[in-house]
Each structure stands twice: as structure tokens, then as C-alpha cells.
Amino acid sequence: MPKKQKIDAGDVSQSQSYEPSTSDSSNPYLAHHVPVRSPSDGNIRYDSTTKTNPWSSLPFSQRYHDILKKRLKLPVYLFRENLLKTVNANQVIVVEGETGSGKTTQIPQFLVEDGIPTMGKTCVACTQPRRVAATSIAARVADEMDVELGGEVGYTIRFEDVTSNNTVLKFMTDGMLLREAMSDPLLSRYAAICLDEAHERTLATDVLMGLLQEILPKRPDLKLIVMSATLDAEKFQNYFKKAPLMKVPGRTHPVEIFYTQAPERNYVEAAVRTALQIHQCEGPGDILVFLTGEAEIEESCKQMRETAASFPSNVGELVVYPLYSSLPPAAQKKIFNAAPPAKVAGGVPGRKVVVSTNIAETSLTIDGIVYVVDPGFSKQKIFNPRARVESLLVSPISQASAKQRAGRAGRTQPGKCFRLYTEISFKNDLQSTTYPEILRSKMSSVVLTLKKLQIDDLVHFDFLDPPAPETLMRALELLNYHGALDDEGDMTDIGYKMAEMPLDPQLAKLLLVAPEYNCSNEILSIVACLSVPGVFMRPKEQAKLADEAKAQFAVQDSDHCTLLNAYNAYLHEGTSQWCWDNFINERSMSSADNVRKQLVRIMKKLDLPLNSNDSKSPSYYTAVRQALTSAMFMQVAYLQRAGTYLTIKDNQNVMLHPSTDVQGKPQWVMYEEFVLTSKNYIRTCTTTQVDWLVSCAPHYYDLSNFPECEAKGELELAYRRLAHRAVGGKK
């Protein structure tokens, strides 16, 4: 590879003591691999005499046998018996294994085959930090067990439940299991829980671990399997009172690491260039490129396809697949397609390149990857408790992440990893591990969940890594301002209702107040649109056309109302052609529609009325803006005399995001999101009025305790007007 400096692969683990056997006969499970249901206790056992799938009572398909052959070669199979023995003898075990060793797909099946869950009563849960992983692994395991997805094997992610009464194995996001705990505090539906990808230390997994500490003594029959890539396993072991640790060695081959000699100015361009160079210059093997998000990934895929199309015929075909969370399942599945064959018999074989977010770092293993391109970035949540701002920011990855990424190249044969940063940067600039998310999050949603679970003493809750006290204070404060907790920190009626909604507390509050403004139907549509990936598409080369299309829906003082208009138009016109012509993301809109239906169900359950103002009356949008004000009063910015915006109380200098439809620099704006890039932007904005703010949130706009700023004078005047009106009203 030109201009790349070859460095010894010392930091990537080489194959360990375990050497995989290539001869099937040495595998103890081959002789009796076919699971059957025992007539005596209904459990699944291994037997070689049957050809019938005990789940479906149908003959096993050819696909079943094809996959089985591959499954039996996974390192984790050699530990099957030992693992089950350990699980039966202990309540908690920690399993540490290289990515790709078969933990996620096989271990939950072992538990099912061992009769741990009882069909119709309990099941095995396997949690995943990411939705894509939950859905795609569930589909894979359904294939492995030769059953329909949604039957014996299913998945649950927010706003989507593909399970049935027969489900014995359920893949779910960690957030969903946490949510289930709110209505089922002992998690009685589960016979075993596999907390997978524990090393990722997501907020929900961390909180689940704390909760499970409390649940386990009360549920002696519940099994917990903490599964992690080779990081931090001892930490989990100690946390769970010296639970036994099983190590599953992976089958990693050596990976050569290459660094750039100088920092890259544009990592996306560099990634595209490198992948194309690999394709032209390197031997057979597929490529995995890590980028940070959908827009970046789609753009680079396009560039790669275009450039590769003009390559001479002596270069093999290149197929490019994107992978990110909002990609539809059918497209996600394609990453497992085999690379294309040679264009002509005896010619150069084709190659596949997968351009992925962090999801391919440990959650999903794509076989056949020999080259990894690692620009060294991922999107990470950052929280600044002082500014009360949580944002997703493209940030440098950790050394541990870089090692995991490199390891993906050595799954099937020796590989190469191209790091698009210097070796000095790797050593000096990357921190050794990523901070757990709990130290980088707003916590308000988690605190509400824990309060609902009657965990009142948050300070003494057994967190694996306790969040900063200031972050907890900020979360409690926010919930108190929203009326979810009273001044003693106890949950109020409003708090209970907010916790029922699978939404951020602020959006939950918005749905609760909307009926008072006679616009809950409109707010429901807005919240649904805010809960899905961007509904407005804006491809770079058609930006002007896209902006013109969006202008049809634009409401001058509210991006939220612009969303509402687009949603309403979609309901009336929503053909695929219409979406295409109007730069509306059809998939997002259709999920918004689905989300809205589910939120309507929750509103009905909570006896919250569904109401609307006349869409032609002037109060239609005003009511929506007032409702938004009652829920978003903590996310407000004020226009200063100098012509710039300053956020209320937190005093951050911000600018309206260029995508906003809000015109003419209004004095007061509320914002949905704080975007940190080279500048601070506020995105999805709606104008509000100072009089609304002081009347709906006097406890927040309490002047006796308000920092000095230009806005303070305006607020004082507004209070005077309010008092005057109150006196006037009494006359």
C-alpha cells in the first residue's frame, strides 16, 4: 500500500492455545447433534436418530444442515458441555470470548436446548446494545433453528415486537429489557438472561447489571450469563461476587497494522481512497471500512461504486454494502452475501466491501473480511452536565476499539488493518478504553426508570461505575422541574405517566400536556417524527431541489410544525412516488406512522384525550407552540443585542442550524437538539414567547435565582405583565 508504513502487529492478539480442528470427526457433537424434544419433560435434547425439527415437527431443511456444519466449527461449541454444567451449578457466569467465536448466536441456543426456558411460560433473553444486532441475530438464529422468525425465536426493540407466546429465545435491546423491568420488576418472564456485549458498557446494560444485583437474590432460579469480548471480564466477575469466568479462545490470525505517516485531513475521503487501493492492489479477501454514520456511509458507498465502475477489466468486480442502524433488514442481510465471482472464467475474483458504523466492531461478525480500514472515529454520546447538553459527536475511538477493529481482519486468515492515523497518534492521542456511557449521559431517563422501580437511593445503587454526582443531581433537578418528582424526590402521578412512555422524559411530558392545549393529535405526530431517523432527505447533489420540496411544508416559526405538515401530507399523499418526488424518507415516515399508533395506544391507556384544533384556525400552530413551550422550557435560547443566541441559564453561545425553517431571528427559541460541531448549533427549533415561558414554568424562570443576563430584564417585564393581568382579571 503506497505511503503506508508497515508496523509489527504486536498489539493484535494472535491465535491462542486453542487450535481449531479441521476434522469434523473430532467434534463431540457431530455424532449426536440433532436436537429432539423429550416426550417426558418436553425439553430439547441431542439425538442422532431423528430427522425432524422438534420445534416445527417438520423435516430439517437443507439450509439447517448447511448452517449446522459451520456452527459446529465455532470455538464455543467445544465448551458447550462445560458451559451448561457451569450454568447449572451457578447463578451467574461470565463468558469472555473473541468476537466471532459464537457467543451470541450459540450460547442462548445451548440454554434453550438444555431445557432452561419453558415454552409458554418463560424464555431466554439475549440483550444487545444495538437494534440492528438484535434483529439481524434473531433472524440468523431462527434460520439456525429452522423456525420462523417471530415464533420460537423472536426479537423486541423499541416500537417493534416480533415475538409470540411460543417464543423461547428472544433477542432484545438492553433498553427494552430495562423497560420490561418496570412492569415486571423480577423479570419473571425470563428463565435466563444473557447480557451480551457487556464490554460495550452501554447505559442500559450498566443499569441492568445493577438491577440484576437486586433481582438475583429474589429469583434463585434465574440464570445470568454476562458475555463480553475480551475486555474487562474480570471486572464483571468481581462485580458479580466472583462468578466463574469461562474463556472462549477465538480463532484469530495475525493482523498486520499499517499507519499513515501524516494525519489525514479528511478521513472519509481517505477511507474511500484506501478501500479502492486495496481493491486494486491487494490479494483476495473482503474489506471492512469503519465510518461514523448513515450520511457519511451512503456518500462513500456511492463514490466507491462510481470509481470502481471505471476500473479496467483486469480488476475484479467490487460490490459495496452499507451497514448502519436505520437500514432496512433486507439491506442489512446483504452484508453476508458472498463476494462476486470473477467476471470471466479464470479472471480476477470480485470483492465485497462493507462500509459500517461501529456495529461491525464487535456485534456483527462478517466472515471473509481480510482488510480493515479504520479512520479512528465513531459517533459517541457526550454529556456536559454543566451545560446540560447531551450530544452525539464524531470522536476519536479508544485503543481498545482500534484493536477490536483490527481483529476483524484476522477472522479467517491473516489480514491487514489500515489505520488512517499515525502511530504516534495511536499511542499518545487515543485513550486506552472508551469511557462507559453512564459517565457520558444525561441520566434523566434512567433516573425516572429507577424511581419507577422504587430504587430511591440512587447514591447507594450498586453501579459498576457510578455516574458523577453532579450528573445525577442534574437529572433529579430536570425531573423535578417537569413535575415528575416532588421536592422530596418522590415520584408523582405525572412521573408515573411519563415513565409509561418509551420516550425521553421531555417528550413524554410533551404528550402529557398536549391535551390541555387541545392539540394532542398534532403533538403525537410531531413526537413520532422526532422518534425516527430524519424524514427529510437532502442528497448533496440535489440540495436545492430538496430544499424547495421541504419549503412546501415549512412553517416560518416552527420546525416542529414543519414536521407536522410533512407528516399530514404523507398521510394524504403517501405513495412511494410522492415521497420520492418530495424528498421524504418513506421508510422513516412509515415507521413514524407505526410509532404514532403505539403512542396512541399508550395515551388511551393513560386516559389522555386525543384532540385537535381546527387546522384552518390561527390557533392551530399557536397551540402546538404553547404545548411545546410547556415541555421544552429548559431548552430555550435568547437573542442578545449583539445578534447572537445564548442558551438560558447555561449561557452557551449557539446559532440556529442552517436546516431550520425559523425565519427572522426571533427573540426566544426552543430547540430539540444541541449540535456540537466546529460551531454550536441548535437544531429543530420553534419560536416561543417570554409570556408563555413565565406562565408555564415560573419555577424554572425563578428570578430570585437566575443568572445575570440580557434575558433577565425581559423576564422581569413579563412577570410584571402577568401580575398586572392577574390583578386586571380580579377587577
Q: What CA–CA distance (Å, rounded) separates 518 from 645?
A: 31
Identify which of residues 199 and 482 has a Cβ nearer to Mg ion in the complex: 199
Q: How far apart are the first and last CA of the chain?
A: 85
Question: Which cell goes with 59?
Answer: 423435516
Residue 467 binding result from ligand CDP, Mg ion, none, given CB thresholds of 5 to 8 Å by partner type: none
Give me the least distance between CB of 614 and Mg ion, in Å please: 53
Residue 306 binding result from Mg ion, ligand CDP, none, given CB thresholds of 5 to 8 Å by partner type: none
Closest C-alpha to 417, from 380, 378, 376: 376
Residue 136 binding result from ligand CDP, Mg ion, none, given CB thresholds of 5 to 8 Å by partner type: ligand CDP
Identify which of residues 415 and 666 has a Cβ nearer to ligand CDP in the complex: 415
Give me the least distance between CB of 26 and ligand CDP, in Å please: 19
Q: What CA–CA distance (Å, rounded) separates 364 from 356?
A: 10
Give me the least distance between CB of 364 and Mg ion, in Å please: 8
Give me the least distance between CB of 50 and ligand CDP, in Å please: 25
Helix (H) or strand (E) holding 558: none
Residue 367 binding result from ligand CDP, Mg ion, none, given CB thresholds of 5 to 8 Å by partner type: ligand CDP
Q: What CA–CA distance (Å, rounded) separates 535 from 527?
A: 12
Helix (H) or strand (E) holding 194: strand 190-195
**152 Cβ contact partners less than 8 Å away, ≥ 6 residues apart:** 55, 119, 142, 145, 166, 167, 168, 169
Query: Cβ of 405: how many Cβ atoms within 10 Å?
Result: 26
Identify which of residues 227 and 696 has a Cβ nearer to ligand CDP in the complex: 227
**13 Cβ contact partners less than 8 Å away, ≥ 6 residues apart:** 98, 230, 250, 252, 403, 407
Residue 163 binding result from ligand CDP, Mg ion, none, given CB thresholds of 5 to 8 Å by partner type: none
Give me the least distance between CB of 100 and ligand CDP, in Å please: 5
Identify which of residues 128 and 622 has a Cβ nearer to ligand CDP in the complex: 128
Give me the least distance between CB of 334 and ligand CDP, in Å please: 11
Identify which of residues 29 and 496 has a Cβ nearer to ligand CDP in the complex: 29
CA torsion through residues 449, 455, 458, 463, sign = negative
Give me the least distance between CB of 199 and ligand CDP, in Å please: 11
Q: What CA–CA distance (Å, rounded) separates 87 from 81?
A: 10
**555 Cβ contact partners less than 8 Å away, ≥ 6 residues apart:** 561, 562, 564, 565, 621, 661
Identify which of residues 192 and 507 has a Cβ nearer to ligand CDP in the complex: 192
Question: Which cell goes with 598?
Answer: 403505539
**19 Cβ contact partners less than 8 Å away, ≥ 6 residues apart:** none
Query: Cβ of 532: how many Cβ atoms within 10 Å?
Result: 20
Residue 97 binding result from Mg ion, ligand CDP, none, given CB thresholds of 5 to 8 Å by partner type: ligand CDP
Residue 391 binding result from ligand CDP, Mg ion, none, given CB thresholds of 5 to 8 Å by partner type: none
Report which residue type is found at 164.
S
Residue 18 binding result from ligand CDP, Mg ion, none, given CB thresholds of 5 to 8 Å by partner type: none
**466 Cβ contact partners less than 8 Å away, ≥ 6 residues apart:** none
Give me the least distance between CB of 360 and Mg ion, in Å please: 11
Q: Interface residues with ligand CDP (CB under 6 A)?
A: 74, 97, 99-106, 136, 140, 336, 365, 367
Residue 105 binding result from ligand CDP, Mg ion, none, given CB thresholds of 5 to 8 Å by partner type: ligand CDP
Identify which of residues 249 and 385 has a Cβ nearer to ligand CDP in the complex: 249
Identify which of residues 35 and 100 has a Cβ nearer to ligand CDP in the complex: 100
In Å, what is the CA distance from 182 to each residue of 117, 152, 185, 204, 534?
A: 22, 24, 6, 13, 29
Binding marks (x or -) toward Mg ion, 87..106, rule CB under 5 A? ----------------xx--
Identify which of residues 230 and 380 has a Cβ nearer to ligand CDP in the complex: 230
Comparing every residue's Cβ against Mg ion, the nearest one is 104
Residue 336 binding result from ligand CDP, Mg ion, none, given CB thresholds of 5 to 8 Å by partner type: ligand CDP
Give me the least distance between CB of 229 and ligand CDP, in Å please: 7
Q: Which residues bind Mg ion (CB under 5 A)?
A: 103-104
